């Protein structure tokens, strides 16, 4: 085929997007056809996702993408899931990963299966919201008892679009229930944790055609049949890593958004005790790769401060932050204390005080503290990813929403002492679309060829490291991190 138009659905924690991509063998061009807000809904003391609202946003986006769609792919944030009963009905709104139900659960789980043993199988960083901990927290609830199928968010949307039930493997690797070496569900872990293995659908690798849009979906979106749905790297970070416009292999990536996912791409997992202690994840990537990365807090810290301040325009605040002195105060952006919503400026101030630093006194200073702290966390994770995996890193690619934050990109270059290449902002949608286009036969090749297309089609902004990294060493020392 000479070219095709595909729709990339990319659902993030703060907004959902549908982009139409026109893909030819040597170029991709995208148009954002629909964007809709997303956010937690507190109900009965629990944080939920409004998943039907998201599904409606997806349908509106597909309609806006227009006739002539050759395929659809869906990616979203990780770990969360919907439960279906025996008739296929959704059992309640999916619980948001920032809900407090998993408080203390990791320790309880590790008392049954030691953390080191879990890591040996899953290779996953302990985050309280990993699916495994959510499921243990939900044990004994009538909802879980009635459940017959568990579908991760993008797979749930895919199920509603096609009727098919499947688990795409990159996102499944964030559950804490997958054997990262074999890329299959760990029957042993499921049994040891009394989690019903029958809940989990068959795994598919990115690139598989999982079905096509159901007749009522076609009717509702005005699309002419048939439209295949392709499993992409349905974990947004997996798609974002495909969308990194790297020219060589000696790169680290920082996939920014609500979170910063910082690491390197490997051919296989690294399951060392040192990596476990450093909280590194071996998430599965497209084409049999492993994303060796750490999840750190990301722009969530900034979003939550802005929300607390009544959502002022971020532009002037970022400009003011750029004029603040660098590294006056920093916090550990890897600290799980920052996971729940609410009161973020106060929590940042408390973290500064705990580490003997004067808390930032103005919003501009808080923003500076947040961005410096993120850059510091990026540097730590880049260096550790390289060291723990024996990878040489010559350049850091910043993709996702943070790629347009010039202060964050420059600080990341300064902190790492490495050049940063920033962009594209919509890396996840690019990676999503490219995997679809390859499944359709419009483009060929491996990740290097797909990345070449991103490079040829989107602009990147370069940042050179300034000064030496001694000031960053000193700031890191204040945090007393191991």
Active-site amino acid positions: 236
Phi-psi category of 219—alpha, beta or left, where left has phi over 0 and alpha has psi -120 to 50? Answer: alpha
Three-state secondary structure along 17-44? EEEEEEEECCEEEEEEEEEEECCEEEEC
| Sole window of 81-89, 103-111, 254-262, 381-389 interacting with ligand LRH (rule: CB under 6 A) | 254-262
Residues in the chain, total: 482
Q: Name which of residues 291 to 320 contact ligand LRH (CB under 6 A).
A: 295
CB closer to ligand LRH out of 206 and 228:
206
CB of 96 to ligand LRH, least distance (A): 10
Task: Tell me if 458 contacts ligand LRH by CB under 6 A.
Answer: no
Handedness of CA 133, 134, 138, 139 (dihedral sign): negative
| Closer of 345 and 402 to ligand LRH (Cβ) | 402
DSSP string, 339-366: -SSS-HHHHHHHHHHHTT-PPP-SHHHH
Q: Which of 259, 292, 300, 338 binds ligand LRH (CB under 6 A)?
A: 259
Decide whether 171 or 357 has the Cβ nearer to ligand LRH. Answer: 171
Give the separation between CA 386 and CA 66, rounded to whole angstroms.
44
Minimum distance from residue 254 beta carbon to ligand LRH (Å):
12
For ligand LRH, give the closer residue by CB, 238 or 418: 238
Distance separating the N- and C-terminal Cα atoms of the chain: 53
Cα–Cα distance between 250 and 396 in angstroms, integer? 9
Distances (CA, A) of 209 to 17, 73, 465, 466: 21, 10, 43, 47
Residue numbers 76-105 binding ligand LRH by CB under 6 A: 77-79, 97
If DSSP codes are grouped into helix, strand and coil, which group holds residue 251? strand
Interface residue with ligand LRH among 83, 137, 156, 261 (CB under 6 A) is 261
HSE, side-chain direction, 13 A CA sphere, residue 300: 23
Site residues for ligand LRH, 187-246, by CB under 6 A, read 235-237
CB 238 to ligand LRH: min, Å: 9
Other beta carbons within 10 angstroms of residue 406's beta carbon come to 14
- State whether residue 151 is helix, strand or coil: strand
Considering beta carbons, is residue 73 or 228 the nearer one to ligand LRH?
A: 73
Nearer to ligand LRH, 291 or 347 (CB): 291
Rounded to the nearest whole angstrom, what is the least distance from the CB of residue 249 to ligand LRH in the complex? 22
CB of 470 to ligand LRH, least distance (A): 32
3-state DSSP call for residue 100?
helix
Q: Closest by alpha carbon to 210, among 150, 163, 173?
A: 163
Assign 449 to helix, strand or coil. Answer: helix
* Strands annotated E in 268-362: 281-284, 290-296
Distance CA 5, CA 62 (A): 12
- Answer for the pair 375, 411: CB distance below 8 angstroms, yes or no: yes
Instruction: Provide, rounded to whole angstroms, the least separation between the CB of residue 91 and ligand LRH.
Output: 21
Contact 83, 17 (CB under 8 A): no
Give the total of residues touching ligand LRH (CB under 6 A). 12
Residue whose CB is less far from ligand LRH, 176 or 245:
176
Exactly one of 258, 260, 289, 436 binds ligand LRH (CB under 6 A); that residue is 258
Question: How many beta carbons lie within 10 A of that of residue 231, not counting itself?
Answer: 30
Q: Should residue 257 be labelled a site residue for ligand LRH when binding is judged by CB under 6 A?
A: yes
Nearer to ligand LRH, 259 or 472 (CB): 259
Which stretch, 186-194, 241-249, 256-264, 272-280, contacts ligand LRH (CB under 6 A)? 256-264
Interacting residues with ligand LRH (CB under 6 A)? 77-79, 97, 235-237, 257-259, 261, 295
């Amino acid at each position: 085929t000479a070219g095709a138009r595909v729709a990339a659905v990319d659902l993030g924690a703060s907004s959902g997007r549908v982009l139409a991509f026109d893909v030819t063998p040597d170029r991709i061009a995208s148009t954002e056809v629909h964007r809709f807000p997303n956010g937690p809904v507190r109900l009965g003391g629990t944080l939920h996702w409004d998943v039907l609202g998201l599904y409606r946003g997806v349908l509106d986006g597909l309609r806006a993408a227009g006739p002539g769609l050759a395929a659809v792919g869906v990616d979203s944030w990780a770990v969360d899931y919907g439960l279906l009963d025996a008739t296929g009905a959704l059992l309640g709104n999916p619980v948001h990963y920032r809900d407090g139900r998993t408080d203390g659960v990791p320790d309880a789980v590790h008392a049954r299966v030691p953390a080191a043993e879990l890591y040996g199988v899953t290779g996953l960083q302990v985050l309280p919201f990993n699916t495994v901990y959510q499921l243990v927290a939900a044990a004994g609830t009538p909802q879980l008892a009635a459940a017959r199928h568990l579908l991760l968010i993008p797979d749930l949307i895919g199920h509603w679009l096609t009727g098919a039930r499947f688990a795409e493997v990159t996102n499944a690797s964030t559950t804490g229930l997958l054997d990262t070496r074999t890329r299959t569900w760990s029957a042993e872990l499921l049994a040891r944790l009394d989690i019903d293995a029958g809940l989990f659908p068959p795994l598919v690798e990115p690139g598989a055609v999982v079905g096509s849009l159901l007749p009522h979906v076609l009717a509702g979106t005005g699309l002419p049949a048939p439209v295949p749905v392709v499993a992409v790297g349905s974990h947004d970070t997996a798609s974002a890593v495909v969308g990194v416009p790297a020219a060589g292999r000696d790169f680290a990536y920082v996939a920014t958004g609500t979170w910063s996912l910082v690491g390197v791409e490997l051919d296989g997992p690294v399951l060392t005790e040192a990596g476990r202690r450093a909280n590194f994840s071996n998430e599965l990537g497209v084409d049999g790769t492993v994303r060796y990365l750490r999840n750190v807090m990301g722009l969530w810290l900034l979003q939550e401060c802005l929300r607390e301040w009544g959502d002022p325009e971020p532009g002037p605040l970022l400009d003011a932050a750029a004029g603040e002195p660098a590294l006056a105060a920093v916090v550990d952006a890897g600290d799980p204390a920052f996971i729940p919503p609410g009161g973020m400026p106060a929590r940042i101030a408390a973290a500064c005080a705990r580490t003997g630093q004067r808390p930032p006194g103005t919003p501009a200073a808080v923003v500076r503290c947040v961005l410096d702290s993120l850059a510091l966390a990026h540097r730590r994770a880049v260096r550790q990813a390289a060291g723990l995996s024996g990878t040489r890193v010559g350049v850091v690619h910043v993709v996702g929403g943070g790629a347009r934050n010039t202060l964050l990109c420059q600080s990341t270059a300064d902190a790492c002492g490495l050049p940063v290449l920033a962009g594209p902002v919509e890396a996840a949608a690019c990676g999503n679309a490219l995997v679809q286009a390859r499944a359709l036969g419009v483009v060929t090749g491996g990740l290097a060829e797909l990345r070449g297309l991103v490079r040829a089609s989107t602009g990147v902004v370069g940042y050179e490291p300034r000064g030496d990294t001694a000031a960053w060493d000193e700031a890191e020392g204040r945090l007393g991190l191991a």
